[in-house]
Amino acid sequence: MSALTELYQQIHDCFKCEIAKRRCQVVPGEGAENAEIMFIGEAPGWHEDQQGRPFVGQAGQYLDRLLVSINLKRAQVYIANVIKCRPPDNRDPLPSEISNCRHWLDSQIEIIKPRMIVTLGRYSMARYFPGKSISKIHGTAQKQEGVIYYAMYHPAAALHQTSLKLAIEADMLKIPKLLAEANRVQEAKPTTESAQQLNMFEV
């Protein structure tokens, strides 16, 4: 059994939050165990809860199209959420739910070891860019210990607002260069110039 499959089993058995008792299915995440890039959303919605898979509703179909725009397929990336159970009536995740679920996402990141983590929306952004506003930092990257953290709007928000749609589509197109930079820094430090061109901060 792979480390990821073993972890899914443990997540499946987790009933720490009240919402776990009301879920139809747990939604741990899915994708390649060796993915270079990991997308982190907020929480499963109705469709995800039905299917046990992340981003399969309207926002997910839009995410698929965004991936195609940079020649990536779902199977090449890893997709997860900050919390693994659907909050009732699509309410926002509670701080206690985020904190109870935190170690599952930590373990996923530890197993996959992505070169780049893309946050989709406010809740996953808060993990890596605490106190920041998404309208200010979307499309900017931060490099920490060789991993690039990159903030984007949530596809569900972008779907219904033209200005956000333009922004998310432009931000997506920057990913290949950032990923290439992440791979390059395995061997050498990025030049200040290339990091600046990519709007990348080192912390």
Count residues contacting ligand URA (CB under 6 A)?
A: 13
Q: Does 93 bind ligand URA (CB under 6 A)?
A: no
The DSSP line for 93-131 is PPHHHHHHHHHHHHHHHHHH--SEEEEESHHHHHHHSTT
Q: Which of 19, 26, 43, 125 binds ligand URA (CB under 6 A)?
A: 43
Report in angstroms how near the CB of residue 179 gets to ligand URA at its nearest: 22
Nearer to ligand URA, 62 or 200 (CB): 62
29 binds ligand URA (CB under 6 A): no
Rule CB under 6 A: which of 122-181 touch ligand URA? 156
Nearer to ligand URA, 63 or 195 (CB): 63
Count of C-beta atoms within a 10 Å radius of residue 137? 19
Is 55 a binding residue for ligand URA by CB under 6 A? The answer is: yes
Contact residues for 83 (Cβ-Cβ < 8 A; gap 6+): 17, 42, 43, 44, 93, 97, 98, 101
C-alpha Rg value of the chain to the nearest Å = 16
- Judged by beta carbon, residue 148 or residue 152, the one nearer ligand URA is 152
Near ligand URA by CB under 6 A: residue from 35, 59, 85, 137: 59
Q: In angstroms, what is the minimal distance from the CB of 23 to ligand URA?
A: 13
Q: Is 48 in the site for ligand URA (CB under 6 A)?
A: yes
Residue type for 84, please?
A: K
Residue with tokens 């690039």: 148
Q: What CA–CA distance (Å, rounded) separates 104 from 10?
A: 9
